[in-house]
Chain A
Amino acid sequence: MAKIIVITSGKGGVGKTTTSASLSMGLALQGYKTAVIDYDVGLRNLDLVMGCERRVVFDFVNVIQGEANLNQALIRDKRNDKLFILPASQTRDKNALTKEGVERVLEELQEDFDYVVCDSPAGIEHGALMAMYFADEAIVVTNPEVSLVRDSDRILGILASKSRRAELGLEPIREHLLLTRYSPQRVRNGEMLGVDDVKDILSISLLGVIPESQAVLAASNLGTPVILNEGSDAGHAYEDAVQRFLGEDLPHRFVDIPRKRLFGRLFGG
């Protein structure tokens, strides 16, 4: 029975899709059969970040409406055969994601997979609510910026009150914080909220800190999840986050100013 993980944030441009791509690839690299679903109907982008945009034939809404079966719509990743992508529909109305339809697809996926990663759209509209509703675990992605942190708290409120687990009185969704675009130098200068500040305010457990990194844009450009860029700080940070998600207790590597800057520049990038 697969665990359902939602990647959510409130606002857009925070790194939800980047995180969905790297987390799902990371879980697959660890040997778990993983499906990653794009819930952003009308603004599909996971396919681009995963580099499979030209292989999309059927999508999530096709499966919900019975126009294709799940196996026809799932795209097997070319780099890892344990990873499958279910793209969002580009053309339909977002209300096509009915609760019953989403539930049916998730149930079918759960039989065969270890993890189902749900990439939520921005906002708190229908698509985002559907991505959150069935979750067992939630990764709240935020930047150290006031409006994003506030919105993350709103999202935590929705997860605690409007999810399936909340409605059925089950054990609450496990919530994790992922802080992205982090700049230790700016935190030291007092210009940016630090890890501890954000943790204090949101009071949920910290899954990882992803440093501001040029590798993230480069990864999207290439359609390769940044976790596969083994020379990059962001790639390492995502690897650590995946390990922590799976229960490892690792120190956070990217919260301090890197000491070997020159060395890093020469050999790491």
Chain B
Amino acid sequence: MFDYFRASREPSAAVAKERLQIIVSHERAERNRPSYLPTLQKELLEVIRKYVHVDPADVQVSVDKNKECEILALNVVLPVPGPAQARRA
């Protein structure tokens, strides 16, 4: 047990800071997402699937904020044949 703490040379406070920076920035991004995004993503996926067979993980919906406007980005990775294509709307 004691050895376990000794094994890492890095001070524990530095580890704490790094872990916090990661989790806090992740949680901030989550809470800044509009609440309708998951439903929007699900419904878009249903529509797209009527025409093309895509994997749920290949449809990404995100909202980015610029200084002046917000951009809603839809990223669909279409399946093979042919090289995978990405389309943005």
Q: Residues of A with Cβ closer than 8 Å to B?
A: 146, 149-150, 153-154, 157, 161, 187, 189-194, 197, 200-202
Question: Size class of B's contact patch?
Answer: 10 to 19
Whether B13 and A187, one on each chain, are in contact in the complex, defined by CB atoms closer than 8 angstroms, is: yes
In the bound complex, CA of A263 to CA of B75 (Å):
66
B72 at the interface (CB under 8 A from A): no
Q: Write the B1-35 contact mask toward A (1 if CB under 8 angstroms, else 0).
A: 00000000001111011011101100110010000
Main secondary structure of the interface of A (DSSP, over half): helix
In the bound complex, CA of A192 to CA of B20 (Å):
13
In the bound complex, CA of A146 to CA of B62 (Å):
29
Write out the residue numbers on chain A whose beta carbons fall within 8 Å of the beta carbon of B16.
146, 193, 197
Which of these, B12, B14, B20, contacts A149 with CB under 8 Å? B20
Whether B11 and A191, one on each chain, are in contact in the complex, defined by CB atoms closer than 8 angstroms, is: yes
Whether A190 and B14, one on each chain, are in contact in the complex, defined by CB atoms closer than 8 angstroms, is: yes
Which of these, A153, A191, A197, contacts B17 with CB under 8 Å? A197
Whether A150 and B20, one on each chain, are in contact in the complex, defined by CB atoms closer than 8 angstroms, is: yes
Q: List 18 A-B contacts (CB under 8 A).
A: A149-B20, A150-B23, A150-B24, A153-B24, A153-B28, A157-B28, A161-B31, A187-B13, A189-B11, A190-B11, A190-B13, A190-B14, A193-B17, A197-B16, A197-B17, A201-B17, A201-B21, A202-B24
Of all chain A residues, the one with the shortest Cβ separation from B17 is: A197
